[in-house]
Amino acid sequence: MTSNTPLKPWRRRARIAEIHEIAARQLEEPEVEFEIAPYLEELRAMETRPRAFEDVEARIMLLLGARAKPTRLKRLLKQLRERRVADGDLPLFEDFEAALRQRTGSSVLLGHDFAPETFSELDHGVVWGDVGSAIAALGELTQSVFLNSGTLLGVVRDKRLIDHDDDVDLGFLLKAGSASEAVTEWLALGEELTRRGLLQESVRSEPEIYKLKSTGAYEIDLFPVWIEDGKVFVFPHTCGELTESEVFPLKTCEVTGLSIPAEPEKMLALNYGPDWKTPDPYFKFPWHKAIQRFATFRDGVRGATARDRRKTVLTYGTFDLFHIGHVRLLRRLSEMGDRLIVACSTDEFNAIKGKTCVMPYAERAEVLRACNYVSEVIAENDWAQKRADIQEHDVDIFAMGDDWAGKFDDLADLCEVVYLPRTENVSTTDLKKRVHEQNLEPVNAGAS
């Protein structure tokens, strides 16, 4: 029987240590039928802020062993390293990282995804030859194609392709003089590249970034570039901060013989921040800000292709004694996007709020997972986690009941914030009152 009594601290620490050991063993000696979801759910339910180091390490090993959620895995690794650095214990992170490499038998834990190969395992001469051929083919359509983003970072900082990278990035100069003109020209370019057989079939899933065919297991990503009033725009990192003379005319890369921006260091600082010279295999680009800054271009391209990115909706609640009001709310939320994540309050957090539930967290979470409208259930452990959750899960819409109207408007810089009216005269409190007034005792009904 599941208890809704919060675990005592020493029991929580002991259980986290057990899961840590299980995760390490699974990483080293994988079991085919092993399921990580129950362990991740346990860790969420026992979570404290900040998370215990063993908790974070256990999550990392579970995700890495299952080759699941690479974006979340990269974020956890970055957070763990930053915390160890803050505590003056970087060697502890380096030892953990080395152990992961040893257990997985790989020198690179992950690139953009769990790619079959990264550049650490490929012949760079062959890659550059392939990229040169792609640029030559594009040269018939534009006067300027240059090494961009991670590829530019590699040749400038490391004088080579970055070991943990697994794709090549190119910038393509359009004739457009505005974002709206860039939309029209970029869509026409996609049709022309398709006609010439240069694009992968997946091009339509992300129309603002084209993926060229390559001869290897890596991808060649093509990004739009245009000049507006003497300012350069390179989706998604440079939004008019650089002048035309800081980028053009292009110069020749000493490493590859291919073209790069006139002052690449300035573009790299915009893309990767002031510390771009320091290698960071767990860097994550701030896509939410980029989407806002390039809204005219991105929305124009996606609207024209009628293939919007899957939208993720996030909501929070206790969901005790699951009832028709919950069903109607979740149905409305699911209709707002393609994926609905529900953050369910843990028993420990409810205790902080002074709220007592009939059903323990594990049962409430299980009921939510069984609801067809819900894609994923996560644990709500404190008031402050919402901003981190939105970023971690790439949330497009944050939605709550209108009794919270105005309380979360500060999250609007990350995503759309919506307050929905609740079902009248239906709530868990009302349900408890009805049971009490009718002198009914909830019972476990047998199968009939």
Do 219 and 365 have their domain in common? no
Query: Quick one: pLDDT at residue 384?
Result: 85
Segment 254-268 shows an average pLDDT of: 97
Rounded CA separation 67/37 (Å): 13
Share of the chain above pLDDT 90, in %: 54
> Is there a contact between 272 and 153 (Cβ–Cβ < 8 Å)?
yes
Average pLDDT, the chain: 87
Residues 149 and 262 in one domain: yes
Answer yes or no: is pLDDT of 114 > 80: no
User: What is the model's pLDDT at position 307?
Assistant: 45
Q: What is the pLDDT of residues 184-234, one digit of tens each?
A: 999 999 999 989 999 886 445 578 999 999 988 788 999 999 999 999 999
Looking at the domain assignment, is residue 166 inside a domain?
A: yes
User: Which comes out higher in pLDDT, residue 80 or 219?
Assistant: 80
Residue of 75 and 446 predicted with greater confidence: 75
Give the tokens for residue 256.
């590859």
H/E stretch holding 52 reads none
Nearest to 44 by CA among 3, 15, 70: 15
Supply 77's token pair: 């690794």
The CA R_g of the chain, rounded to the nearest whole Å, is 25
> Span 103-117, mean pLDDT?
71
φ, ψ at 417 (rounded to 5°): -110, 125
- Kindly state whether residue 445 falls inside one of the protein's structural domains: no
In the prediction, which pLDDT does 423 show?
A: 63
Q: Are residues 181 and 301 in the same domain?
A: yes
The string of pLDDT tens digits covering residues 319-336 is: 998 888 899 899 999 988
Average pLDDT over residues 254-264: 97
d(CA 182, CA 226): 7
- If one compares 364 and 439, the residue with the highest pLDDT of the two is 364
* Euclidean distance between CA atoms 93 and 201, whole angstroms: 40
Around Cβ 30, how many Cβ atoms within 10 Å?
11
Last residue of a domain, one of 235, 270, 305: 305
Model confidence pLDDT, tens digit, residues 266-323: 999 999 999 999 998 888 888 888 988 999 999 898 877 644 456 899 999 999 988 8
- Stretch 107-136: mean pLDDT: 83
pLDDT of residue 317: 93
Same domain (yes/no): 294, 375: no
Give the pLDDT mean for 115-126. Answer: 82
Using a cut of 0.85, tell me whether the model's pTM lies above it: no
Q: Please state, as a whole number, how many other Cβ atoms lie within 10 Å of the Cβ of residue 278.
A: 10
In a domain, 448, yes or no: no
Strand partners of residue 211: 221
Please count the structural domains in the chain.
3
Residues 146 and 225 in one domain: yes
Concatenated DSSP letters of 225-276: EEEETTEEEETTTEEEEEEHHHH-S-EE-TTTSSEE-SSHHHHHHHHH-TTT
16 and 128 part of one domain:
no
Lowest mean pLDDT, pick from 235-249, 363-377, 392-406, 431-445: 431-445
84 and 219 part of one domain: no
Active site residue 433: no
Please identify, among 305, 333, 353, the residue that sits at the C-terminal boundary of a domain: 305
Q: For position 282, what pLDDT does the model report?
A: 85
pLDDT given at position 337: 87
| CATH number of the domain bearing residue 380 | 3.40.50.620
Tokens 């257990």, residue? 103
Catalytic residue among 175, 251, 277, 353: 353
Tell me how far apart the alpha carbons of residues 152 and 286 are, in angstroms, rounded to a whole number: 18
355 flagged as catalytic = yes
CA distance 137 to 121: 26
Task: Report the pLDDT averaged over residues 126-137.
Answer: 95
Over residues 5-11, mean pLDDT? 78
128 and 252 in one domain?
yes
120-129: long-range pairs with CB below 8 Å, 24+ = 120/163, 120/164, 122/161, 122/216, 122/217, 122/218, 124/160, 124/161, 126/215, 126/216, 127/161, 127/168, 127/216, 127/218, 128/256, 128/258
Domain extent for 55: 9-104
pLDDT band of residue 442 (cuts 50, 70, 90) is low
CA distance 416 to 81: 31
Segment 25-39 mean pLDDT:
87
Can you give the pLDDT at residue 435? 63
Q: How large is the average pLDDT for residues 26-54?
A: 88
66-70, 150-154, 271-275, 370-374 — which is least confidently predicted?
66-70
Identified catalytic residue from 175, 355, 407, 433? 355
Residue 17 CA: distances (Å) to CA of 12, 20, 23, 253, 312? 9, 5, 10, 50, 33
Residue 112 has pLDDT above 70, yes or no: no
* 349 and 407 housed in the same domain: yes
Contact between residue 250 and residue 262 where contact means Cβ atoms under 8 Å apart: yes
Give the pLDDT mean for 121-129.
93
pLDDT at 324: 85
| Rounded percentage of the chain residues whose pLDDT exceeds 70 | 89
Residue 161 belongs to what H/E stretch?
none
79 lies in some domain = yes
Q: Is the pLDDT of residue 138 over 70?
A: yes
Q: Report DSSP state, residue 412.
A: G
**pLDDT on residue 436:** 58
